[in-house]
Amino acid sequence: MLGLNILMFLDTVLKYQNIHFRVLAISKTLPSIKRDWHPSILFRAENLIDLEFSKFKEKFNMVIHAATYGQPSKFIVQSRETLYLNGPVVLGLLSVLERGGKFVYLSTSEVYFGSQKVPYSESDIGQMLVDHDRSAYYYGKLFGEVAALKYSQDIVPRILRVSLCYGPGTKLDDQRVMNEFIRSACLKGEIRLIDQGQAVRNYCYVRDFAEMMYRIVSDGSKNVYNVCGNSETNVADLARLIGEFIGAQVIFPQDNDNALSAPEKVNVSAERYGVEFPFPKFIDLREGLKRTIEWQKEYLYGTT
């Protein structure tokens, strides 16, 4: 979702601004959205794990690494791929960046897992046992951050710890909780929770993420930034809101199992960003959900 929205922004700039640059967009699959892409954007359908970075014939001014799964149901199962994409692939991408170029690494608020301080600031860090179900994602992202910072004498790292971004652009098999709720509501007319939904989340609409990202990349003075919205809710209320918009029943279980061992509260501070830049006019959760649901109905489920 983030990669697609970044590409759509770059495509718009190429078409309507007097700015010229080339983009190499590498992903396991080509974008499925119908769009007349600018010819300066070259798409390659390839797994980053299989790339031979030593064979790249040119260096890049900027690399944006947004390739790893943010879905717990995927990064838990595909732990080796998760580690590889945040380990050797990060080092490979750093090697094709020109001296003084920018490396934009989309990290995650997951690195605060286990922290007792809320909200989380960029100087905080969490704690997680190495045999935890989510450890490949947690330690993989930390490795990617460290790698980018250790190259800072040669390149400009910009690490964005993204918190619960949502909006148009998701894939059909996206299994994060919001998208699972929308899919179930659209296809089954009901939303079934796996627990009582008391976990608290702070969502950020993708348009707001994009604005914050480009300000940081262009003019940020720090290496690490939290990127988050201001739409705090718990999972139960999120389900009820989606059910209201789609007309679906919300069903709670008798027990309270947390199948994916998710954190009870994800709440990060964007104070560092706010010191340097004005905040976007944040899209509130109701409006963002409406846009997301409309997009998914049209492009994923063929309904209106």
What is the CATH classification number for the domain harbouring 59? 3.40.50.720
Q: Read out DSSP for 138-200?
A: HHHHHHHHHHHHHTTTTSEEEEEEE--EESTT--TT--SHHHHHHHHHHHHSEEE-SS----E
Question: Which tokens belong to 150?
Answer: 């250790």
- State how beta strands 190-192 and 249-251 pair: parallel
Tell me the C-alpha distance between 229 and 238, whole Å: 15
Q: Is 242 inside any structural domain?
A: no
Q: Is 147 inside any structural domain?
A: yes
pLDDT tens figures, 30-72: 888 889 999 999 999 999 999 999 999 999 999 999 988 777 7
C-beta separation of 5 from 169 below 8 A: yes
Order of strands, edge to edge, in the sheet holding 224-227?
A: 60-65, 97-108, 156-162, 224-227
70-79, 188-197, 255-264: segment of lowest average pLDDT? 255-264
Q: Domain total for the chain?
A: 1
Domain that holds residue 121: 2-166+203-231+265-283
29-38, 269-278, 280-289, 290-299: segment of lowest average pLDDT? 29-38
Q: Is 35 inside any structural domain?
A: yes
Q: Is 188 inside any structural domain?
A: no
Q: Is 223 inside any structural domain?
A: yes
Q: Is 294 inside any structural domain?
A: no
For the entire predicted model, the pTM comes to 0.92
Q: Is 249 inside any structural domain?
A: no
C-beta separation of 115 from 170 below 8 A: no
Q: Is 184 inside any structural domain?
A: no
Residue 100 falls in which region: left (phi positive, over 0), alpha (psi -120 to 50) or beta: left
